[in-house]
Homo-oligomer: A and B are copies of this chain.
């Protein structure tokens, strides 16, 4: 029940965040972070001033928008920011102008392949304005004089990101990263920060072995800004990291590896997917698209991969107004929460055990095996024996899971049982 409630809560949070017009800077973004802070007050917001150099990038002016509307010659509304904030090219400069349809065309954006949807378009780094609309609407526009009016501003200001470091028993840390900069779209991107913020709440609920670094920043530039200030510490301490995105729909589980492909982050991800969602889709790093691009960058070299449901760029609704609250569900958010929670527990519990006795122990005397040797009776203790067989004082739970085909959780549970019977002891 508690889990059902939490899935609904995550979905409720997404509903609150959905209408805000986010961008890589500005009030919509800042207000979104304030909502997240209501759940996790210790989340820290950082402002990076316009003009600040971050590696190869410069923080742009802050963009804010109040209203925008494109009106047809017959006074009907073609596109209206207040109806859907995707209607405006994100970062549009102000305009108030009458144009012929021909003149207007280079300021209109639509998607012939998803003709009923408004596409998502941005122009962060070049001054431009434009309206986005369904392609089927665009092709029906008639000749005449259109009125384009955008009330926006580009001013000295700052880019905002949220982050926190949850200290654990060790300085070694796990990175959990998501991004916030898209306007009204649900799976990509609100599913990521919404699940992440609830994972943080769970992480804070008890003491952990590892420290946890949480980053929620505008994609690309925000993450680059964050990395430019923290990458040396992160490179020293990060044992594994994950980019959380596109985890709100019910598509197939999908894995995007790190650049090196075989980091500890990859190994625990692939292990959990193999033992829990064996039909998962396996992409390559060439299919990457989110902030693993920065985290895995040569010289940064963090062990970061990503597990999504329907991967960005692979589903029809992606980057359009169809990626809305109907496309995601509380159930799917709950499953994604559970996946990352189990992943983190696996990392927390990935101990190495050693055996206290040579050869097989006498299991039946400890009640761990039937005293009756009867083949027909099956071998319910096979999992225990397999775990013991691979307990060599070097293999961690991950490796034992790989060798036995058991889930890491099952391996850990078996070790607790065997520890209780004094058959194994933790060696790390």
**A residues within 8 Å of B by Cβ?**
55-58, 90, 109, 111-113, 119-126, 128, 220, 224, 227-228, 231, 259, 285-286, 288, 293-294, 296-300, 313, 318-319, 355, 357-362, 364-365, 371-376, 385-386, 389-393, 404-405
Tell me if A125 and B355 are in contact (CB < 8 A). Answer: no
Residues of B near A124 (CB, < 8 A) are 371, 373
In the bound complex, how far is the Cα of B124 from the Cα of A319, in angstroms?
68
Distance in Å: Cβ of A353 to nearest Cβ of chain B:
11
The residue that A362 contacts in the complex, of B56, B358, B391, with Cβ under 8 A, is: B56
Residues of B near A385 (CB, < 8 A) are 293
User: How many copies of this chain?
Assistant: 3
In the bound complex, how far is the Cα of B355 from the Cα of A56, in angstroms?
12
In the bound complex, how far is the Cα of B357 from the Cα of A231, in angstroms?
14
The residue that A125 contacts in the complex, of B57, B231, B371, with Cβ under 8 A, is: B371
Could you write out 25 A-B pairs with CB less than 8 Å apart?
Answer: A57-B359, A57-B362, A58-B362, A109-B376, A112-B376, A119-B374, A121-B374, A122-B372, A124-B373, A125-B365, A125-B371, A126-B372, A231-B358, A285-B389, A288-B389, A293-B389, A297-B358, A297-B389, A298-B389, A298-B390, A298-B391, A298-B392, A299-B392, A300-B359, A313-B375
Q: Which residue of B lies closest to A405 (CB)?
A: B286
In the bound complex, how far is the Cα of B381 from the Cα of A293, in angstroms?
14
Distance in Å: Cβ of A354 to nearest Cβ of chain B:
8
Residues of B near A393 (CB, < 8 A) are 298
Tell me if B56 and A375 are in contact (CB < 8 A). Answer: no
